[in-house]
Amino acid sequence: MTQTGGFIPATRRPGVLGVHSVRRLAMTVPDVEVARRFYSDFGLDTVAQGANLDVSIQGQAAPCITIADGPRKRIHHLSLAAFEDDIPRFTSHLRECGVERLAPPPGFESNGLWFRDPDGMLVEICVALKTTPDRKTPALWPASTANSARAPSRTGASKPPPTRMSHILFFTPELDRAVKFYTQVIGLRLSDRAGDEIAFMHGVHGSDHHLIAFVKSEGPGLHHCSFDVPSLEAVGLGAKAMADKGHQRGWGMGRHVLGSNYFHYVRDPWGSYAEYSCDMDFVAADYDWEAHDNKAEDAFYVWGPTPPIDFARNYEVSDE
C-alpha cells in the first residue's frame, strides 16, 4: 500500500491489527443542494454522482463524505480503511468477536467488511490508501521579523482549503461500550477521555491524537467532521469566509486541551458542525501514548469564546 500523494510506503505497527484511516462518512440530509452549497463554501470539492453528492478534499478523487437525499439528517455509514493484508485478519477477528457480517447496502457495493457497531451505525472496513499522516504535520507560522509588514491585506488574503479530513466526533448513549468496541474490534486506541462524557481514539499505525471521538448523548448521531488546515491564520480566514457567505453560527476560534489543536466550528444547516482544525497532537506508529482520564474542564478548551448553549445538543435525537 502507498500513502496518498506519492509512492511512499505507509507506516504501520508490525503485527498489530487496526484500521489506519477514516475513509468516508455517508449520510442523508433533507436537501442535497443545501449540502452542496455549505461544503463548497467550506472549501471542499462537491460532485454529483447520480442522486448523491460526493464531497472531497480539493484535488483528491476519493470522497470523504457522501450525501444522499433523505427525510432527515442521518448517518448512513462509516467507512474505515485498512491495509490489504489485514482484511483476512479482520475477517477472522470479526468472527471471533461475534460480530455479524452484513451485505453491502444498495448503492455502496464493495469488497469490504460490513457490520454494525453497538449503537447500530453501519460500519465498513475496506482496503484504501492511508490518508492519515505518517508523521507530525508542522503548522505554518509567519516569520517573526522586524521592519516589515507581515499581515496580508483584506483583499489579498486567500483562504487555504482543507488538506485532509482530520477526525469525526460521534454522539453515543454509552461511552464505555463504544470505546470497548472500537478498541477491541476496530483496533483503535484510547488517547484521552474525561470521565463518562467524552473519549478520543487514535489509529495504531500513526495518526492524529484522534481519528474518532465519542461524546455522551441520549442517542447516536453526528456532532462534527473536522478538516485539517495548515495554519492558525487558515483557521481564521476560513471562519471569516464562511461568515461572509452567511454561515455565521458556530464556535471559535479557540484551542483545545485534548489534542492541542486550534479550532473554529461552523454550524451546518442540520445542527451539527464542520471544524477547521490546525496543529493537532500526533501519535507515531512506534509510540505508546499514555491515555489519561482528564478533568471535565479540560475536555473542552484552553481558551476561546463561550460555546453556544446548544453546542453539545444532539439534534438527531432531540428533534424527534
* Pair 104, 205 in one domain: no
Instruction: Please report the pLDDT score of residue 5 as a whole number.
Output: 40
* Pair 292, 178 in one domain: yes
Q: What is the mean pLDDT, run by run of 10 residues, along the chain of 320 residues?
A: 45 95 97 97 95 95 96 96 97 98 92 96 97 92 87 82 97 98 98 97 98 97 98 96 96 98 98 98 97 94 96 82
Instruction: Please report the pLDDT score of residue 1 as a whole number.
Output: 34
* Pair 169, 121 in one domain: no
Instruction: Please report the pLDDT score of residue 9 as a whole number.
Output: 60
The verdict on residue 2 lying in a domain is no
| Domain stop point among 81, 106, 127 | 127
In which domain, by residue range, is 173 found?
Answer: 164-318
Stated pTM of the model: 0.94
List the CATH number of the domain containing 43: 3.10.180.10
Residues contacting 296, CB < 8 A, separation 6+: 194, 195, 197
* Pair 120, 244 in one domain: no
* Pair 174, 310 in one domain: yes
The verdict on residue 150 lying in a domain is no
User: In this structure, are strands 207-208 and 282-283 parallel, antiparallel, or unpaired?
Assistant: antiparallel
The verdict on residue 137 lying in a domain is no
| Domain stop point among 98, 127, 156 | 127
- Spatial separation of the C-alpha atoms in residues 104 and 115, rounded to whole Å: 9
Instruction: Please report the pLDDT score of residue 170 as a whole number.
Output: 98
In the DSSP assignment, the letter for residue 37 is: H
Instruction: Please report the pLDDT score of residue 83 as a whole number.
Output: 97
Residues contacting 280, CB < 8 A, separation 6+: 166, 208, 209, 210, 228, 259, 260, 261
The verdict on residue 148 lying in a domain is no
Cell of 107: 448503492
Instruction: Please report the pLDDT score of residue 2 as a whole number.
Output: 36
Please, what's the largest Cα pairwise distance for the chain?
Answer: 66
Do residues 207 and 283 make contact, with C-beta atoms less than 8 angstroms apart? yes
The verdict on residue 8 lying in a domain is no
Instruction: Please report the pLDDT score of residue 4 as a whole number.
Output: 40
The verdict on residue 170 lying in a domain is yes
* Pair 115, 214 in one domain: no
The verdict on residue 232 lying in a domain is yes
Total tally of structural domains belonging to the chain = 2
Q: 184-232, pLDDT tens digit by residue? A: 999 999 999 999 999 999 999 999 999 999 999 999 999 999 999 999 9
Instruction: Please report the pLDDT score of residue 318 as a whole number.
Output: 59
* Pair 183, 299 in one domain: yes
